[in-house]
Amino acid sequence: MLMSGTELARAIVQRAAEKAADYTRRTGAKPCLATVIVGEDPASVTYVRMKQNRCHKAGIESRHVALPERTTTEELVAQIRELSDDPAVHGILLQHPVPHHIDERAAFEAIAPHKDVDGVTMHSFAGMSFGHNDFLSCTPGGIMRLLDAHDVEIAGKHAVVIGRSPILGKPAAMLLLARDATVTICHSKTVGLADVVRTADIVVAAVGKPRFVQGDWIKPGAVVVDAGYNEGNVGDVDFDAAVDHAGLITPVPGGVGPTTIAVLLEQTVDASLRQLDA
Amino acid sequence: MLMSGTELARAIVQRAAEKAADYTRRTGAKPCLATVIVGEDPASVTYVRMKQNRCHKAGIESRHVALPERTTTEELVAQIRELSDDPAVHGILLQHPVPHHIDERAAFEAIAPHKDVDGVTMHSFAGMSFGHNDFLSCTPGGIMRLLDAHDVEIAGKHAVVIGRSPILGKPAAMLLLARDATVTICHSKTVGLADVVRTADIVVAAVGKPRFVQGDWIKPGAVVVDAGYNEGNVGDVDFDAAVDHAGLITPVPGGVGPTTIAVLLEQTVDASLRQLDA
């Protein structure tokens, strides 16, 4: 069965828009998400434009900071600190990836924890790992919402996460663990990956390689979450083959993607309301 | 074969003592570890006394802060903040566990990151997870040293960690992952634990239940690390049964325990030197 994210995302955004309207009624201003982009990676430019559109529709102000490719780490950190200190900005998103010469971690850490609506700081990661959940990394957060919306049982199940990036694989593993899954984290150095995946009740593919996960790796009835988004709208799972084995499977596009942005908008609005009440 | 920690710990402490002496030559003062204990749990009192002894022998000053059982979270946080601000204190250890009415996480977070020689803050956890490794949680740090001292291959191996506490199971999993193991995290809600453990090349038992891991759960030749320390000097692994299956196995006592304290002393001295150079 298809595990679509479109309807779910719409519902999350709808609720975020209502809360944004509430914020505006109370303050006369809009919740504000600042998006920082360095350089002109075409995929990133498209993605940021899409986020701005979604913000606009949800009643969220979108402030766009575009920095040239040659920006230094120090300049980027200074820019992000300024946004962290700006009371009119409620959430900050640094578009990933940044150019290679920049220390991305240093830039992420310049985001004030209470404005980390994309869930990329060390503080947010530890919060997810320890069950505090102030802000979630958006894609893992979207994945959990998808699983819940489709009544997927998580506790006691074996979840296999393929990929270990700091904003996708690792936090996804930690969120599944917090919900009492037995969690295995696999990666490029894993030996016998196919056999490990074959033991999974829940598979999260977060590798960034098109059609990497094969159909016959999927245990009959397993839940397959494809967090990949590769060139040509292709996921990390060989969907056409996997769909015959999986009990539930996300399409690409229309699966994890929409829920990721929805969680970003929701967390931005929540941040604005929390900052109002603080 | 036995994977003893005694010799290794001695070597680590020896080197820490040399560095401590170097610190003293340069400053006239000693590296200083402040230990905070709340209440009078007998095991904790014994453990803290042992740490103080070891500090003394290694040329590390040990400052002891004993607070009554009725201490509030606010009082404890204030006390720890004071130590965080005190330039004569280089490392801070809050003895775990604290009384139930205290918010232990809030207390841990009052430790300045550059003094977190026990590796308990959210910052240190994320650092271990992302491969920065400023300070390690001491028991997971000791485990990694034990594995390295015994030339255990980690990359590509399947490591199963039983237990998911914020200062033992989770950081152990993250350190093994950073060394390219495929890592499975198990816990009380894991279904079919014995079968999961049977697939492990490396087993880390961090459950806190005496002789919980059975001998026939151990794959022939696997490496078994027992991080448990229960009443009566008993580990989390049924040693007498497991020793027949394991390729390498830590004894209790004399395995992980000594390396834990050794890493604590080493990190305290390193902290003092880093604060000197900062």
**Amino acid at the residue A153:** E
Q: Mean pLDDT in chain A? A: 97
The nearest CA of chain A is from the CA of B243 a distance in Å of 26
- The answer to whether B52 touches B81, Cβ cutoff 8 Å, is no
Residue B208's pLDDT is what? 95
- The answer to whether A39 touches A186, Cβ cutoff 8 Å, is no
Between A132-136, B78-82, B145-149, the lowest mean confidence (pLDDT) is in: A132-136
Convert the pLDDT of each residue in B196-252 to its tens digit: 999 999 999 999 999 999 999 999 999 999 999 898 889 999 999 999 999 999 999
Res. B154: pLDDT tops 90:
yes
Domains of chain B: 25-118 (3.40.50.10860), 138-255 (3.40.50.720)
Res. B14: pLDDT tops 90:
yes
The whole-angstrom separation of Cα B154 and Cα A117 is 35
**Which residues make Cβ contacts (< 8 Å) with residue B254, sequence separation at least 6?**
B4, B5, B6
Res. A72: pLDDT tops 90:
yes
Region A15-31: mean pLDDT is 98
Residue A220's pLDDT is what? 98
- pLDDT-derived band at A278 (thresholds 50, 70, 90) equals confident
- pLDDT-derived band at A176 (thresholds 50, 70, 90) equals very high
Q: Would you call A123 and B122 a contact, using CB atoms and an 8 Å cutoff?
A: yes
Convert the pLDDT of each residue in A146-169 to its tens digit: 999 999 999 999 999 999 999 999
The whole-angstrom separation of Cα B196 and Cα A193 is 15
Q: By C-alpha distance, which of A100, A138, A102, A98 is closest to A118?
A: A138
Torsion over CA of A235, A238, A243 and A249, rounded to 10 degrees?
-30
**Which residues make Cβ contacts (< 8 Å) with residue A29, sequence separation at least 6?**
A23, A61, A88
Torsion over CA of A176, A177, A182 and A186, rounded to 10 degrees?
70
- The answer to whether A73 touches A103, Cβ cutoff 8 Å, is yes
The whole-angstrom separation of Cα A211 and Cα A208 is 9
Res. B105: pLDDT tops 90:
yes
Q: Which residue of B has its CA nearest to A180?
A: B189
Residue A133's pLDDT is what? 82
Convert the pLDDT of each residue in A260-274 to its tens digit: 999 999 999 999 999
Residues of B in contact with A185 (CB under 8 A): 173, 177, 182-184
Q: By C-alpha distance, which of B87, B119, B144 is closest to B264?
A: B119
Residue B43's pLDDT is what? 87
Residue A49's pLDDT is what? 94
Q: How distant is the alpha carbon of residue B242 from its chain centre? A: 23
Other beta carbons less than 10 A from residue A205's beta carbon: 30
User: Which listed residue (A19, A30, A118, A267) is catalytic?
Assistant: A118
Other beta carbons less than 10 A from residue A99's beta carbon: 15
Convert the pLDDT of each residue in A224-241 to its tens digit: 999 998 988 899 999 999
Q: By C-alpha distance, which of A164, A202, A166, A196 is closest to A181?
A: A202
B237, two tokens: 């692994």
DSSP B89: -
The whole-angstrom separation of Cα A6 and Cα A144 is 15
Region A16-37: mean pLDDT is 98
Res. A89: pLDDT tops 90:
yes
Q: Which residues 84-143 on chain A approach chain B with CB closer than 8 angstroms?
A: 105, 122-123, 125-127, 129-130, 132
User: Which listed residue (B30, B116, B118, B157) is catalytic?
Assistant: B118
Burial of A30 (0-12, 13-18, 19+ CB in 10 A): buried
**Which residues make Cβ contacts (< 8 Å) with residue A49, sequence separation at least 6?**
none
Between A179-188, A204-213, A259-268, B225-234, the lowest mean confidence (pLDDT) is in: B225-234
Residue B277's pLDDT is what? 82
A154, two tokens: 């998580």
Q: By C-alpha distance, which of B25, B22, B129, B136 is closest to A120?
A: B129
Residue A37's pLDDT is what? 97
Of chain A, the percentage scoring pLDDT greater than 90 comes to 95
Res. A118: pLDDT tops 90:
yes
Q: Mean pLDDT in chain B? A: 97
What is the H or E stretch that residue A205 is in? strand A202-205
Residue A43's pLDDT is what? 87
Res. A127: pLDDT tops 90:
yes
Instruction: Using DSSP, state whether A37 is helix, strand or coil.
Output: strand
